[in-house]
Amino acid sequence: MFNEPKIDDKIIDSHLHIEAWKNDEVGSFIDAFEPYREGMNLNGLNLCSLNNHASGVANNIMMALYKLAHKETFAHGCLHHVEYPITANVPAGMELVTQYKEMMEIGFDGIKLIEGKPTCLKPLGGTLLFPTLDEFFCEAEKDGTHIVFHVNDPDEFWDYDLAPDWAKDTGWFYGNGTYPHFKTVVKEVETILDKYPKLNVTFAHFFFYAKYPDKLEAMFKKYENMAVDITPGTEMYFAFEDNHDFYVDFFKKYSDRILVGTDATFPWESYTHAWCIDRLYHFIATDKVQKAFNDRNLTGLNLSGKDKENILYANFERRVGSDKPKEINKEKLLAYFEKYKCLFKEGELEELEPFIDKYLR
Ligand SMILES: [Zn+2]
């Protein structure tokens, strides 16, 4: 299936997605990452729900079902937006903060926000500073709930001359004046963090700050519970390689603020996830020089002891508050299904019904 050897160190992949119901390799989404988990000897997976492929509510239910089927699985649920652009006119009982509380009762381990990615932010109305999201941040800070937050994309995607062709082809060129600028969005995030400075938040993809570690460091100093993950974002690895010695020290100094994740996405096949976690593991834990992203060299940071353990799994466990995933409350999950199935996209009800019958009824 794949050639990468099992990883002997304890490791949790903190950032995976499910964007399809089935593939040829494993069959149903309910086993999406099992060959990957077993083949690489991973100690835990954290599924991150998204509201931009399946409906957010259906994707949340998929993740909760996965937790029931495979006990070593953590999951971060997403907030579902009933209307785009976002307004205050959310149907009663479906406010973002209500959805958040429901997910915590169901047994999610945290919340995933994709709202800061330009392609999501633009249809939402172009700003993260809206009151219903503010209510959520307020509660999440009080509860200490872990948030995995995707904000921005690499800043070259705003510059036509610097944006790579693949990004332009994917619709990820943001310099045409219709998207909020990278720096504007950073300012909004700082506004949120200034208001909720203890927010337990991990920004995905190194906050796209690998070229600006001084700015990242300033944020780490200001916001005590803020972290980043090293989910590729291939461009960050070029910056790590270009400044290898600097980043050895940086990763040691901030080993309590950095998490490992692959962005493994079902229905991609397992070998792609295995390839990625193997590269990330060797980058953190060995001094191996490997061919990694875009076939460029990547030299391992060779971290050991606490530094290595923090990044490979301990930071994640501390942030979700446990080394064990939360149990799913089946009654609450069934109630969530019944309440939100009116918001499913076409076909989602038919896909989910057999699993609801099998696991919840
Ligand atoms: Zn992701």
Cα of 16 from ligand 1 centre, angstroms: 6
Cα of 301 from ligand 1 centre, angstroms: 23
Residue 146 to residue 77: CA distance in whole angstroms: 11
Q: Say what the pLDDT of residue 185 is.
A: 98
Q: Say what the pLDDT of residue 87 is.
A: 80
Cα of 32 from ligand 1 centre, angstroms: 16
Domain spanning 14-360: which superfamily?
Metal-dependent hydrolases (3.20.20.140)
Q: Say what the pLDDT of residue 83 is.
A: 87
> What are the residues facing 12 on neighbouring strands?
44
The conformation of residue 310, written as its DSSP 8-state character, comes to: I
50: three-class secondary structure by DSSP: coil
Quick one: which H or E segment has residue 28?
A: strand 27-28
Q: Are 129 and 192 in contact (CB under 8 A)?
A: yes
Q: What is the CA 7 to chain-centroid distance, rounded? A: 22
Cα of 101 from ligand 1 centre, angstroms: 23
The residue whose two tokens read 């009654």 is: 331
Identify the CA nearest to 33 among candidates 278, 316, 355, 274. 274
Cα of 261 from ligand 1 centre, angstroms: 9
Q: Say what the pLDDT of residue 309 is.
A: 98
Cα of 267 from ligand 1 centre, angstroms: 14
Identify the CA nearest to 297 among candidates 274, 272, 279, 278. 279
Q: Which residues of 260-283 are buried (b: 16+ CB within 10 A; e: fewer)?
A: bbbbbbbebbbbebbebbbbbbbb
First to last CA, the chain: 35
Cα of 125 from ligand 1 centre, angstroms: 21
Residue 4 to residue 18: CA distance in whole angstroms: 22
Residue 183 to residue 4: CA distance in whole angstroms: 39
Q: Say what the pLDDT of residue 127 is.
A: 97
2: three-class secondary structure by DSSP: coil
The two structure tokens encoding residue 25: 């390799």
Cα of 17 from ligand 1 centre, angstroms: 7
Domain spans, the chain = 14-360
- Per-residue confidence of the chain (361 residues) as pLDDT tens digits? 788 999 999 999 999 999 999 999 999 999 999 999 999 999 999 999 998 778 999 999 999 999 999 999 999 999 999 988 988 788 899 999 999 999 999 999 999 999 999 999 999 999 999 999 999 999 999 999 999 999 999 999 999 999 999 999 999 999 999 999 999 999 999 999 999 999 999 999 999 999 999 999 999 999 999 999 999 989 999 999 999 999 999 999 999 999 999 999 999 999 999 999 999 999 999 999 999 999 999 999 999 999 999 999 999 999 999 999 999 999 999 999 999 999 999 999 999 999 999 999 9
How many CB atoms are closer than 10 A to CB 339?
14
Cα of 15 from ligand 1 centre, angstroms: 6
Cα of 361 from ligand 1 centre, angstroms: 32
Q: Provide DSSP, 246-282.
A: HHHHHHHHTGGGEE----EEETS-HHHHHHHHHHHHH
How many CB atoms are closer than 10 A to CB 170?
11
Q: Say what the pLDDT of residue 88 is.
A: 77
Cα of 253 from ligand 1 centre, angstroms: 25
